[in-house]
Amino acid sequence: METRPTTDRIKETLFNILQPDLPGSYFLDLFAGSGQIGLEAVSRGAAYAVFVDNRKKAVACIEENIRFTRMERETEVYAQEALGALRAMEGRYRFDIVFMDPPYGKGLEEEALRYLAGSSLLKEETLVLVEAAIGTDFGYLGELGFVLEREKIYKTNEHAFIRRRSDAQS
C-alpha cells in the first residue's frame, strides 16, 4: 500500500503524550492514510474525528475502518486534497488537535500550516502535530505565528508539536 502506517510503538508514544488533550476534543487527521490515528483518538476519548485523504484506496480503507470500529457517528471523511478540504471545512469545525502525516519531502506540511495560520479551523490552544522526515525544516513557523513546542525524534521520522505563538512568546 502507498501509506506509511505509524508503527504501534510510535503510536503508543504519541498517544501517551496526547492523552491529556484527547477527552472531548475535535481531531483532524490530515493526509489520513488508513485513518488509524484519528480512529485511535476517538477510541481514547476524542468527541469527533475528521479524516482527509485524496487517494481512492486510502479513502476506501478509512471508510472500511470506520465501519469496522462502528464509529460512523463520531467521524467524517473528506475525499479530496488537503487544502481543498481545509477550505471546505471553514465555518464547520474548530479543531483541538490537528495531526498531519503528509508524503515526506514535498513541502505539503508547510502548505497546510500556511493555510491553517489564517484559518478559523484552529482555536488559540490547538495542537498541530506533524509527522515528518527527520531533519524537516520548520524554520518558517515564526513568520506564521506558530512555535515549535517539542520535537520527538524516532529512528526514521519525527513528530513536531506546534501551537500558535502566544503574545508572551512573541
Distance of alpha carbon 125 from alpha carbon 71, whole angstroms: 26
Q: What pLDDT shows up at residue 155? A: 87
Coil, helix or strand at residue 76: strand
Q: What pLDDT shows up at residue 165? A: 85
- Is pLDDT of 168 > 70? no
List pLDDT tens digits, range 67-120: 999 999 999 999 999 999 999 999 999 999 999 999 998 999 999 999 999 999
Residues 107 and 141 sit within 8 Å (Cβ to Cβ) = no
The verdict on domain 8-169 having CATH code 1.20.59.20 is no
List pLDDT tens digits, range 11-69: 888 999 999 999 999 999 999 999 999 999 999 999 999 999 999 999 999 999 999 99
Distance of alpha carbon 133 from alpha carbon 115, whole angstroms: 21
Q: What pLDDT shows up at residue 4? A: 55
Closest residue by Cα to residue 28 from 97, 101, 93, 82: 97
Q: What pLDDT shows up at residue 56? A: 96
Fill in the DSSP letter of residue 154: -
Q: Is the pTM of this model over 0.95?
A: no
- Is pLDDT of 3 > 60? no
What residues does each domain of the chain span? 8-169
Distance of alpha carbon 75 from alpha carbon 47, whole angstroms: 9
Q: What pLDDT shows up at residue 6? A: 65
Residues 18 and 97 sit within 8 Å (Cβ to Cβ) = yes
